[in-house]
Structure 1
Amino acid sequence: MTVFILVAGVFTGAPVWQETAALLAAAGSEAYAVPLTGVDANRPAASARVDLETHIADVVAAIDAVDAASGREVVLVGHDYGIHPVLGAADRRPERVARVVYLDCGMPQNGVPALAAVPDQALRAQLAERARQGGDQGELAPPARDEWQRWGSTAGVSDAALDRLTALAAPQPLGTLLQPLRLTGAVAAVPVTGVLCTRNGVSIDLMQRLVDFGDPALAALAGPQVTFFELPTGHWPMLSCPTELADVLLRAAAGEGRRLRPAGAGAPPAHLRPFPLDVPELPRERREHVDLYVPDAPGPRPAVVFVHGGPVPAGARPTPREWPTLVGYARLAAAEGMVGVTLDHRLHDIADYGRAAADVTAAVELVRADPRVDADRVALWFFSGGGLLAADWLAKPPAWLRCLAASYPILAPLPNWGLTGSRFHPVRAVAHAGDLPVVLLRAGLETPEIAATVEAFTTAAEDCGARLELVDVPHGHHGFETLDAPEETRPALRRAMRSVVAHLTG
């Protein structure tokens, strides 16, 4: 028999697990939702100080309450913030824990507080400053009913369930978010399952892509003791689909689930597959974080700067400016008589958009200063998660920016990114684009969450009369250049490039 010990996320306590726990029990398992001190009404704090160690002790006590001689396996399930006390407890009782389930949460590291996983970046910065000033006491008020989206996608949560979530919500003791997680490393031996809620922006395919980037820090995700499941719902599956969640937890306890392929195993990952068009083998010229592909033509020439997506792990090798797709685009531009440019920017985490934007600006300035480049004729071309970086250029396009292009871009922050109020919001920025031409390559089989941002952008562009040209790839997926049939992607790539060149040379 399996004993599931369920630990809730920020602002939520044991009652949020009611339906899931009942379903697990009906299937023949035991399920215990841990009341967290200072959060659950039936476990008030004995003192003013409640921190992460307090909640770790709550989970350790739940583990110890299971008779070790009974032969029952303990599976710890941590949702959202709850994974922090789960890992802390598993690290102290690794011999008692058969599996840890990460339920739509991050991957906490030793020495890092739960604050690092707070999606609202403005709030994160505010609390970090408070911590620097020694203010780790007090509480963080729970969201109002219409504010839960700032903490994760509410997709699938009914109005009644959202009312219940709001009614049950409790203030979160600040110490639980500000105290660093301390691990000895013993928890690394415990098998792991990740349950990813795809409507919150994370999928198994995305995790595979992260592993494929080759960052050693992520290699463990493809280990033999790690499995994954997906649920097509938002951030609170215990409210939106408790039956499906209970089924997944039972399968996880049995060791089922999809395993990731180690980096370098099998066929090349998507980002390292060949570009679908034949392009000239022009050599690159490397300058700082920029590579230039210069055509053999009298200059100065217009330039197309290609801005990769992300986040891309800092340890990814090769770096994006060397990926075949980006190099292929740059050489294709050079074949049209343009200077093709690839670059590396430091979008390694959702919190890095500010410095990534600065990197792009620096790269553009470097390119425009090159005597072989016509500084008054430059285009910017964004990809995937780099699409948010287009917002600055849409909001206030300089005179020398003759065209802005984007391939399968994200054009508004995804629900769990915590950037809703930031400047990185192209859907809002397009109203200020004026006469700037925008060429958008749209994937017909885009993921629903990203497709929604593209639809919002096209609607906003139509409403404000922006100069938007859509180039559709009807059967294309995100990253269609290397994922889909060349005979469909090639015409779209050629058409989009011709449009950009026409805006640069017209």
Structure 2
Amino acid sequence: MTAFVLVGEAFTGGWLWDGVAERLRKAGAQAYQVTSDGDPEAGLGTHAEELVALLDRIADPETVLVGHGYGIHPVLAAADRRPERVARVVYLAAGLPSDGDPALLLVRDETVRERLGRDTTPLPPPRGEEWANWGSLDGLSADDLARLDRLAVPQPARTLTEPLRLGDGLDRVPASAVMCTADGPDVDVVEMLVRTGPPRFRKLVGPGYAFLELPAGHWPMLSHPAELADVLVRAAAGEGRRISLGEERPSDEKREFLLDTAEYPYERSGRLDVYPPDGEGRRPAVLFVHGGPVDADRAPTPRDTPLYRGYARYLAGLGAVGATVDHRLHALTDYARAAGDIAQALETLRAHPRVDPDRIALWIFSGGGLLAADWLAAPPPWLRCLALSYPVLGTPPGWETVERRFRPAAAVAGAGALPVVLVRAGREHPAFATTVEEFLTAAVKHGADVEIVDVPDGRHGFEALDRTDASREAVVRAVRAVLDRVTGAE
């Protein structure tokens, strides 16, 4: 017999699972609805110990731990300590925390993150529409919201701030993820993150992880109890889609730049590499900003990959200064730190003896696109152009933890006469493409100067993935558009 241990989101208890548990039991399974210790001093470790004690009491051979939202943290900790007693872990509308991560990193409400940084008293539960700060309310009725309001309890602060501690036990436990597509990414987006994101996502490849989708918001146990019960039974049976990379996967870490470039030497200063052109005198400069998040231990770092070196050398060959920067965007909560790294790199670049400090362009790629917000909101006079290649320009589902400051669609109202060159991939990931369309709508509304360079058959990262004449022509056109603006007359 399969036993499901059901652990819910912050502020909730076993009551959250009533409708699902009833259906699981009718299907012949056991269902344990967990209400964790609400002691004000309880921490994540306290909740994990409670689950370990429960696992030690369950006699059923097939025990499946289900973690919803915050609940995935104590679930992972318990499974790591008792891998021999857990048949499978199920992530339900949950993030992918690693060893050392506090649950606070995945809290979407910025005000909550700020509060817990200065206040260790229990966090009062949301009320009414405030629940949307913890996840989509899609499908919830007024009665469902009233029930959340009535039964929710304060969440001990240390359960959200105490780091998750994992050994190697969890590596022996299969996992499934139920992707609630009205609340977060679908499986296609997860596959994209596996292919292009930090290396830690690579663990999702292969038979050990299975993915299922449910067209629901963050609270499917309330809005879709029957469907969720069915999906959990399927997850317990190991059903679902697996992700495979394939041996032929192109990579900007391995493939040479798609345009021929000379081997211009570079000068390294901290996080900044500068590629001066031949000749003398001060020249316009373009700083290339990589996307992310990228793993902190990634090797080579972005500035040492053929993609960014290629762009910088190509600019140097055209008589401008090319520059690259390694910024510290290692997680969705790192945008402010990365923005500081870029500001410092620009200051250093403008002070370089070969750079005209009044003729600078900033060229941002992929997930770094959110970093454009600062420069759109208040562009300095020396910033002559902002270029964006297959950018993320809003918060796709699951990116809600990014600070509100980094919203280019809102910031474009302040762009004024700043020219923007937008390189758009026709086969972009849908979640990213939506953010670009939102940005363009706002740009039209505010009269922003945007030139679009389309790559109709190009994918996200087309320079490495789609090495076609159309891709080469798009790069050449985009470079020329940027140089025309950064070298143009006053």
Work out whether residues 258 and 463 of structure 2, in 8 Å CA contact, stay in contact via their aligned partners in 1: no
Aligned to 2:9: 9
In structure 1, what residue type is equivalent to 2:450?
L
Work out whether residues 335 and 403 of structure 2, in 8 Å CA contact, stay in contact via their aligned partners in 1: no
1:115 and 2:107 matched? no
In structure 1, what residue type is equivalent to 2:92?
L
Work out whether residues 105 and 401 of structure 2, in 8 Å CA contact, stay in contact via their aligned partners in 1: no
**Aligned-partner SS, 1:452:** helix
Cα distance in 2 between the residues matched to 1:243 and 1:473: 44
Aligned to 1:79: 68
C-alpha spacing 1:184/1:491, structure 2 compared with 1 (3 Å): closer
Task: Give the root-mean-square deviation of aligned CA atoms.
Answer: 3.2
Alignment identity in percent?
A: 53
Q: Deviations over 1:413-435 (max 9, x none)?
A: 34544457632221221111111
**Aligned-partner SS, 2:89:** strand
Q: Deviations over 1:71-103 (max 9, x none)?
A: x40010111110122123324433221111222
Q: Deviations over 1:265-303 (max 9, x none)?
A: 722444336467423133341413222333335542211
Identify which of 238, 243, 265 aligns with 1:255.
238
1:405: Cα distance to partner? 0.9
1:317 and 2:299 matched? yes
Work out whether residues 477 and 484 of structure 1, in 8 Å CA contact, stay in contact via their aligned partners in 2: yes
In structure 1, what residue type is equivalent to 2:262?
E
Cα distance in 2 between the residues matched to 1:236 and 1:498: 49
**Aligned-partner SS, 1:472:** strand
1:484: Cα distance to partner? 4.0
Aligned to 1:172: 155
After superposition, where does 1:442-461 map in structure 2 within 5 Å?
442-461=424-443
Q: Name structure 1 gaps, 5 residues minimum.
A: 39-46
**Aligned-partner SS, 1:315:** coil
C-alpha spacing 1:220/1:400, structure 2 compared with 1 (3 Å): same
**Aligned-partner SS, 1:340:** strand
1:31 and 2:12 matched? no
In structure 1, what residue type is equivalent to 2:273?
D
Work out whether residues 151 and 416 of structure 1, in 8 Å CA contact, stay in contact via their aligned partners in 2: no
**Aligned-partner SS, 2:459:** coil
**Aligned-partner SS, 1:126:** helix
1:149: Cα distance to partner? 3.6
Cα distance in 2 between the residues matched to 1:268 and 1:18: 45
1:362 and 2:351 matched? no
Work out whether residues 262 and 314 of structure 2, in 8 Å CA contact, stay in contact via their aligned partners in 1: no
Identify which of 122, 133, 137 aligns with 1:139.
122
Work out whether residues 214 and 315 of structure 1, in 8 Å CA contact, stay in contact via their aligned partners in 2: no
C-alpha spacing 1:472/1:193, structure 2 compared with 1 (3 Å): same
Cα distance in 2 between the residues matched to 1:365 and 1:140: 41
Cα distance in 2 between the residues matched to 1:214 and 1:444: 20
Identify which of 154, 174, 177 aligns with 1:191.
174
Aligned to 2:55: 63
Cα distance in 2 between the residues matched to 1:472 and 1:156: 37
Deviates more, 1:8-17 or 1:202-211: 202-211
Work out whether residues 276 and 490 of structure 1, in 8 Å CA contact, stay in contact via their aligned partners in 2: no
Cα distance in 1 between the residues matched to 2:184 and 2:279: 44
After superposition, where does 1:409-448 map in structure 2 within 5 Å?
409-418=391-400, 422-448=404-430
1:279 and 2:260 matched? yes
**Aligned-partner SS, 1:272:** coil
Equivalent residue pairs, number: 487
Work out whether residues 403 and 504 of structure 1, in 8 Å CA contact, stay in contact via their aligned partners in 2: yes
Cα distance in 2 between the residues matched to 1:470 and 1:505: 19
Aligned to 2:447: 465
C-alpha spacing 1:156/1:316, structure 2 compared with 1 (3 Å): farther
Aligned to 2:384: 402
Aligned to 1:52: 44
C-alpha spacing 1:112/1:440, structure 2 compared with 1 (3 Å): closer
**Aligned-partner SS, 1:173:** coil
* TM-score, length basis structure 1: 0.84
1:466: Cα distance to partner? 1.4
Work out whether residues 284 and 291 of structure 1, in 8 Å CA contact, stay in contact via their aligned partners in 2: no
* TM-score, length basis structure 2: 0.86
Aligned to 1:90: 79
C-alpha spacing 1:378/1:181, structure 2 compared with 1 (3 Å): closer
Aligned to 1:379: 361
Cα distance in 1 between the residues matched to 2:206 and 2:28: 30
**Aligned-partner SS, 1:314:** coil
Work out whether residues 150 and 415 of structure 1, in 8 Å CA contact, stay in contact via their aligned partners in 2: no
In structure 2, what residue type is equivalent to 1:473?
V
In structure 2, what residue type is equivalent to 1:195?
V
1:404: Cα distance to partner? 0.5
C-alpha spacing 1:280/1:159, structure 2 compared with 1 (3 Å): farther
Q: Name structure 2 gaps, 5 residues minimum.
A: none
1:150: Cα distance to partner? 2.7
